[in-house]
Amino acid sequence: MIILVINSGSSSLKYQVREGDDVLAEGLVERIGEAEVPDHAAALDRVDGEVATALGGRSIDAVGHRVVHGGERFSEPVLIDNEITRAIERLNPLAPLHNPAAVTGIRAITEKWPHMPQVAVFDTAFHRTLPEHAWRYAVPDELYRRFGIRRYGFHGTSHAYVARAAAELVGAEALTGIIAHLGNGASVTAVRDGRSIDTSMGFTPLEGLVMGTRSGDIDPSILLFLMREGYSEQDLDALLNRNSGLKGLTGTNDMRSVTEAAESGTERAQLAIEVASYRLAKYVGGYHVAVGGAQALVFTAGIGENAAAFRSAVVSKLGALGLELDEDRNSERSKVARAISTSSSAFPVLVVPTNEEAAIAEATADVVSRS
Ligand code: ADP
């Protein structure tokens, strides 16, 4: 089955065409809304042109959409119809930047190819198994009932994919362990018997770890303090989502630059790595307790897969759990799933490459062939 995987942003559209493990085409259309590409329909025409050349006469069988927010309703991928599209649209307030773009993408495809099967794959779905004591915030119940304020968690497609691959690597039927997805956005998930039971992102992707440009956990009173100092809602949004994290601490959001600067002795870069790795190590300790004893710690995504120095900074703080890295294995450059711990480590530390497009395509093919 030939699947077109689409990740719609408000001004961009990322796509990949897959047939099983083969990537037949991929690309990115940017600056949607500007003169050359006025809307998502125009972006799609461009994708169609690029894809047609690559497919040489064959055609797409189904489309899989990455949808950031599935709210409380969606715990797995679904075949899209008008009602599902409206349900995703109703979740717009919970993901004001992402869900409207996904809906626009879905409608553009419906318009262009009315009979094309489309599947929505939700970033929140894997975390629908969180127990209530993990997803509740200790605030009045009214906030949950009126606004849906609770922990949802994100990066679920990646965490689920990596959980399966890690289980395979350690020879377990299902993973009981901790997965650190460290990209520009970063989150860590506690997995027991293959199911998510806690995760560091919350009501929005802002909570939890130190990220490229997001602060992760902070005292909410800081917001109240800054509001009294005259900061507006927009100021606070930009401050915490776009100008904090590694960028706030060092001036750059890119971990590669930060690690290079740290190695050449820049103190602010060294401090940023300490702050970020310490935060993650604390979560790993907590989630080790949550899962009742992890059987693996897994690193994935851009930083998790490539930043050996950062992995080392994290694991060096986890001696209390009996974890020990094999520094040779850790610094090896490789694109395959592998263990990077010593044989005497209390449980293995793994690097498992994530592949959200493959996971979305697989889920799409699965839903379409069952429908
Ligand atoms: P996104 O969340 O945008 O998909 P990625 O998963 O691609 O992000 O991760 C991007 C991050 O990975 C960046 O901070 C980048 O600097 C970092 N990264 C990629 N390669 C390396 C490397 N060799 N060393 C350190 N950091 C790296």
Q: Does domain 171-351 have CATH number 3.40.50.720?
A: no
Q: Nearest residue CA, atom 19 of ligand 1?
A: 302
Instruction: Report CA(346)–ligand 1 centroid distance (Å).
Output: 28
Given a contact cutoff of 8 angstroms between Cβ atoms, the answer to whether 189 and 159 are in contact is yes
302 lines ligand 1 (CB under 6 A): yes
Residue 10 has what pLDDT? 82
276 lines ligand 1 (CB under 6 A): no
208 lines ligand 1 (CB under 6 A): no
90 lines ligand 1 (CB under 6 A): no
> Do 171-351 and 2-122 have the same topology in CATH?
yes
Active site amino acids: 123
Q: Which one of 303, 310, 355, 356 would you pick to mutate in the ligand 1 pocket, going by the greatest count of ligand atoms within 8 A of its CB?
A: 303
Q: Which one of 26, 255, 351 would you pick to mutate in the ligand 1 pocket, going by the greatest count of ligand atoms within 8 A of its CB?
A: 255
212 lines ligand 1 (CB under 6 A): yes
| Mean pLDDT, residues 135-158 taken together | 97
Given the CA of residue 310, which atom of ligand 1 is nearest to it?
Answer: 25
Does the pLDDT value for residue 9 go beyond 90?
Answer: no
Given a contact cutoff of 8 angstroms between Cβ atoms, the answer to whether 144 and 136 are in contact is yes
259 lines ligand 1 (CB under 6 A): yes
Kindly report, residue by residue over 197-230, the tens digit of the pLDDT. 999 999 999 999 999 999 999 999 999 999 999 9
Q: Which one of 155, 247, 256, 351 would you pick to mutate in the ligand 1 pocket, going by the greatest count of ligand atoms within 8 A of its CB?
A: 256
184 lines ligand 1 (CB under 6 A): yes
* Half-sphere exposure for 316 (CA within 13 Å, toward CB): 11
Q: Nearest residue CA, atom 12 of ligand 1?
A: 302
Q: Where does 2-122 sit in CATH, by number?
A: 3.30.420.40
- Domain borders along the chain are 2-122, 171-351
| Mean pLDDT, residues 278-299 taken together | 98
| Mean pLDDT, residues 324-335 taken together | 96
Given the CA of residue 301, which atom of ligand 1 is nearest to it?
Answer: 6
**Predicted confidence band at 301 (pLDDT cuts at 50, 70, 90)?**
very high
CA distance 273 to 255: 9
Does the pLDDT value for residue 343 go beyond 90?
Answer: yes
Residue 98 has what pLDDT? 87
353 lines ligand 1 (CB under 6 A): no
Backbone angles phi, psi at 337, to 5 degrees: -65, 135
Does the pLDDT value for residue 248 go beyond 90?
Answer: yes
Kindly report, residue by residue over 61-109, the tens digit of the pLDDT. 999 999 999 999 999 999 999 999 999 999 999 888 889 999 999 999 9
Strands 297-300, 349-351: pairing is parallel
Residue in 231, 35, 13 with CA at minimum distance from that of residue 108: 13
Q: Indicate the pTM of the whole model.
A: 0.96
CA distance 202 to 113: 36
Quote the tokens at residue 111: 């318009």
| Mean pLDDT, residues 109-125 taken together | 96
Kindly report, residue by residue over 122-140, the tens digit of the pLDDT. 999 999 999 999 999 999 9
Range in 50-59, 73-82, 170-179 the model is least confident about? 50-59
What stretches of 141-212 show up as alpha helix (H) in DSSP? 141-147, 156-170
